[in-house]
Structure 1
């Protein structure tokens, strides 16, 4: 007699929440361990940007029947359209919305990366130079952006923007950044033929 289980699953995935969690995990790993910190922070920032755009794509269909046409816009433009729809003013001149511009500038630099030659110069003491001659490095703006402070600020500001936008949208029985649900089941199958 063979015994098997027929397993079924239905899962509602909130992609923006999964991406948001990835951003958090990478930030925490970057704070805990210096090894590879720059890369962990870069990943966290990229996933923060991904999470924000995925949230806009999550919210959009609730507010627009024609979201599939709007979805092609830039994240900044999507935010402006959604903010206007729910009665909020887009103000990219100050935090937290200012971070949207900086974060997506960073994300675009990464996504559309090009090889470049950088030149930089500074004066430092011979003592400092002898201690660590590799401490000074010419960096792009996107490399300079990968700090713990900027990564924490991006998450804090995007969290604030999402909660403000969500509250103004007046969607009932849904809260930002909660994972979706999953229903699982199992059915024992007994094959008496063997």
Structure 2
């Protein structure tokens, strides 16, 4: 009996920032669809998830550009140091006090609060003038991070990190196709038949 063999080879370049950005975009689209029809059911939960994914998206893009343009880049470095290294390598001098760059800190702070969640206490203890017919149960006992759960802030962060990404890849001279996940494979019949018994 003659046995033939094939040589299989495969390679895939996985750029996770695409998957994370797609997840954030999916959530953003769903939130905007809910907004368009006036549905608020669970929208804050979706915004929370979207903001976290936007933060992950930014950092994974940061890591991608860092790997491409910063010699000896270490993904596990302190976040602010990585940003500093990348903008320096690109020759940029952004103003972090204004958009789009100011959104980086806001988004990172939100992500850190969620990632390192810990208990908190919200209290109201104040004396106010009494007025008949006034509603006095207007307490705002939300956590500080809950103020970020707005569609406006979500859009701001999404727009700003996309603007930064576009600036970075253009400045770095990275073609868009180089940022995509791609792969190749081949299956080749080995011509020499191998004889075996059994």
- The 1:77/1:176 distance shift into structure 2, 3 A limit, reads farther
* Alpha-carbon distance between aligned partners in 2 of 1:160 and 1:125, rounded to the nearest angstrom: 52
Q: Structure 1: state its 5+ residue gaps.
A: 1-6, 188-194
Aligned Cα RMSD in Å?
3.2
SS in 2 for 1:54: helix
Q: CA deviation at 1:9?
A: 5.7
* Alpha-carbon distance between aligned partners in 2 of 1:155 and 1:89, rounded to the nearest angstrom: 21
- The 1:121/1:11 distance shift into structure 2, 3 A limit, reads farther
Q: 1:157 aligns with which of 153, 157, 160?
A: 160
Work out whether 1:67 is the aligned partner of 2:73: yes
Q: CA deviation at 1:148?
A: 0.6
- The 1:101/1:177 distance shift into structure 2, 3 A limit, reads farther
Work out whether 1:24 is the aligned partner of 2:30: no
Report how many residues are paired.
175
- The 1:127/1:30 distance shift into structure 2, 3 A limit, reads farther
SS in 2 for 1:60: helix
Q: Structure 2: state its 5+ residue gaps.
A: 1-7, 35-39, 189-198
Work out whether 1:144 is the aligned partner of 2:147: yes
The structure with the larger Rg is 2
After superposing the two structures, state which structure 1 stretch, 52-61 or 118-127, moved more. Answer: 118-127
* Alpha-carbon distance between aligned partners in 2 of 1:177 and 1:119, rounded to the nearest angstrom: 51
1:3-42 map, 5 Å: 10-33=11-34, 34-42=40-48
TM-score (norm 1): 0.76
- The 1:125/1:179 distance shift into structure 2, 3 A limit, reads farther
Q: 2:63 aligns with which of 57, 60, 69?
A: 57
SS in 2 for 1:67: coil
